[in-house]
Amino acid sequence: MATETSLPVTVRPARAPRPAVEDRSLRSAVAVVASGLVLVALLVGGGAMVATLVDLASWVGGA
DSSP string of 7-61, one letter each residue: S-SS-PPPPPPPPPPP--HHHHHHHHHHHHHHHHHHHHHHHHHHHHHHHHHHHHH
Asked, for residue 41, whether it belongs to a domain, the answer is yes
Answer yes or no: is pLDDT of 1 > 70.
no
pTM of the model: 0.53
Looking at residue 63, its pLDDT comes to 59
Count of the separate structural domains present in the chain? 1
Asked, for residue 58, whether it belongs to a domain, the answer is yes
Give the mean pLDDT of 10-22: 70
Separation between Cα atoms, residue 22 and residue 24, nearest integer Å? 6
Q: Which domain holds residue 36?
A: 31-63
